[in-house]
Amino acid sequence: MTQKSYLIVSGLIFALIGLLHLIRIIYHWPAIVGVWTVPLSMSFIAIIITAVLAVWAFRLTTTVSS
């Protein structure tokens, strides 16, 4: 696997995770870890983080050769 394909795959994974967090917010899906219910505000933070990581990965693909 080349570095460019790695960056594309990782960018797509981060984008998919961010999209799933957005869907969780829209449909108010619960997320439970053990006995702790994860608040929806955590998904807002996760959307920002995953969006930044996805954009970063996609922008790096333009600087990597092959």
Residue 9 belongs to a domain: yes
Alpha-carbon gap, residue 44 to 42, rounded angstroms? 5
Residue 60 neighbours by CB distance under 10 Å? 16
Residue 66 belongs to a domain: no
Q: What pLDDT does 66 receive?
A: 65
Q: pTM for the complete prediction?
A: 0.89
Mean pLDDT by 10 residues, the chain (66 residues): 94 98 97 96 97 97 84
Q: Looking at the 3D structure of the chain, how many domains does it have?
A: 1
Alpha-carbon gap, residue 47 to 52, rounded angstroms? 9
Tokens of 46: 């996760």
Residue 35 belongs to a domain: yes
Q: What pLDDT does 64 receive?
A: 86
> Which residue segment(s) compose the domain that 33 sits in?
3-61
SS3 call for 37: strand
